[in-house]
Structure 1
Amino acid sequence: MPHIQPLPQYVALGDSYSAGQFIGGDTNLVREPVDGGLGGPDGDYSGRSKDSYPQQLARTVLSGYEFIDVTCGGATIDDRGLGLGGILTPQTVFGGPPYIPVDGSGVPQFTPTPRPAQIDALSKATTLVTIGIGGNQYNLGQIIAKCASLGASAIGSPGTDYYRHTEEGRADLARKEEDLRDGFAKMMPELRERAPHAKFFFVGYPTLFPTADPTLFPTAEGQGTCDGGLDENITIKKGDMPFIQQQFDLVDSVIREAARDHGHTYVDIAESTRAHHVCREGTEKWMFGLYARYTFDEELHGYKPARFPAGKDMPPFSPGWTAWMQGMLAHGDGIFRGNETLTTFHPNKRGADNQTRQVTTALRTAGII
């Protein structure tokens, strides 16, 4: 009987930027069977899109591979002492879509079963791994929320001033960086132990905001207006946008350093997206903004968002995710609107296409394809 050579195995690990969260809305999800024990009738609430870069790679240049996708929105490296989880520990907090159904008071109707640690998908049979992680470990969302909160009652750069010029803010940034570096130091040897024969490709984060281009901020001093993602009622000030981008760049630098020190490949996404941030227009805009109007053109923006309940009710996230986003949503008129989707600065379809191109180039350079 002839010996059948097993297919090479590709495993995708990562957070919402790798899961393709929000791309295509509820109609474009990679859903898992109901009997998988990972939630209710709509799947597992990890928000994996069929147009994420792992899914695109698996359909194209890696179509000859066995494919395992365990990416999940909200994933961290470990639980950070907050009961979160993702790569090394089971994940308990999910952002969807699909969104967890809530009752009339906004209370979730059930709590999804925790997802297994993503690292459990790796084995000696794994030959290729992409991983995009670190943003939630550093808690970039909390920084954005703090800037939005401070910007509700101040002009200039209140978030930057807090983090750069107060003892509390500086200490918080130092703790976040320590959490990030400690997480990578813990994760890297465990990845190699689980998949000793695999090639690892660490995928960085895209550019969110411009760092210096006043022509992209056409409104009055202190106003955080930029096209498609922020409008005159959003409280992130233009003076804080460069600081927020610097935090994304810091996370990328830690990822790059960890990949280099352990002999892996780092895939840079930031440079190819410097001119395609949330303040660009039309086809040049490769990122969702903070929220997306339900009436946005699907072809232009690459998705059809799920609809939130009308009014200012808290969106139907799981309890943990809701708590994590509380600061972002605290200023109802400024942050959350009825009939809109909170997309919290993620790649849109064009952004995911670019991620796919950059990873494909890295795979080709490494001789994988």
Structure 2
Amino acid sequence: MEKTQKLIRVTTVPLSLKILLKGQHRFISQYYKVIGVSSGNSELFDVAKNEGIKVVPIEMTRVISPWQDLKSLWQLFCFFKKEKPFIVHTHTPKAGTLGMFAAKLAGVPHRLHTVAGLPLLESTGGKRKVLNVVERATYACATKIYPNSFGLKDIILQEEFCKPNKLKVLGNGSSNGIDTAYFNPENFSPQQNQNFRSKLGINAGDFVFIFIGRLVGDKGINELIEAFKNKSSEIKDVRLLLVGTFESELDPLTPATQQEIASNSNIISVGFQKDVRPYLAISDCLAFPSYREGLPNVVLQAGAMGLPSIVTNINGSNEIIINGQNGVIVPVKNTTELHDAMMKMMSDCDFYSHLQRNARAMIVSRYEQQVVWEGILSEYKLLEQNV
């Protein structure tokens, strides 16, 4: 198939290209000349190798950094002017702002931005006002905005960031869907799971809660650790498995939380893992008390692996989880209700079994990856028809 149109995908850090959009670049590159742009390190070049696309490093920061931001904007503008892409499609907040501004200035005809979360929702006062202005400007520069959940779309409309006709949720949401053949508990034998549990010091009868993601305040880690601390003092055969990295420079945990993670022998922190499936395979329930999300991949992954989830009542999470069917929804920042939900998961076997039976089927039926990819491709093809 002859590929005549050029598509540039931009994220702030290469991990987003590599993990959050895994496989999508290779699929889309059957139809378009795809270039991946992100800050440069070895992970960016892993994307080139794994996805079979060209990559270009342009440094961007996740924090507000006026001088670096201006430099990044100029480099993106120059790159877009040189490459003359048909589409620039950005993901993640900073890449969205810089990429949409640069693409508009460079005269790129189709400027698409996927919204997978709104960090500004946790900001207040003057900072929030500034971020609101930046968000509106970003959307003004875009020709189409794709919230990856219906809840995010509602928030964008409530905040009046853009007009309704610029917004579209693809399918049931999600930026990349879920490969349910890859995330399948049948890929791991009982013996493999037993051996891996033993390696981590987890006993056969232990009930394992798992959290996957950045170990930061706005993921609800402070509340999760406090809820688990209370639980582990009541019940001994329970473990909490933390899979992710600390980001102390951006959103540090409280000293009490850090101390509890370090000192509680029932909390196992394993850092970032390229493949989270073995950890999900040995776990019983995902605990994901985040303050804000788009449509969180980890809840999709856990469900596909047959795990019920405890999530907070935020957009995205409360679309994947239907309370009492494949998980439990608790209020944001409510340690007591989180603790109670964890206790019910452990103590009510019939309730837990009911959730577990539904968990995988409810993901497979709504978020299969190929369907999401086809939806994105259809959007691109529509743009060609409108030329």
Q: TM-score range, shorter-chain basis? A: 0.3 to 0.5
Structure with greater strand percent = 2
Using the size of structure 1 for normalisation, the TM-score is 0.37
Which structure has more relative contact order (CA 8 Å, sep 6+)? It is 1
Q: TM-score, normalised by structure 2?
A: 0.36
Higher helix proportion (structure 1 or 2): 2
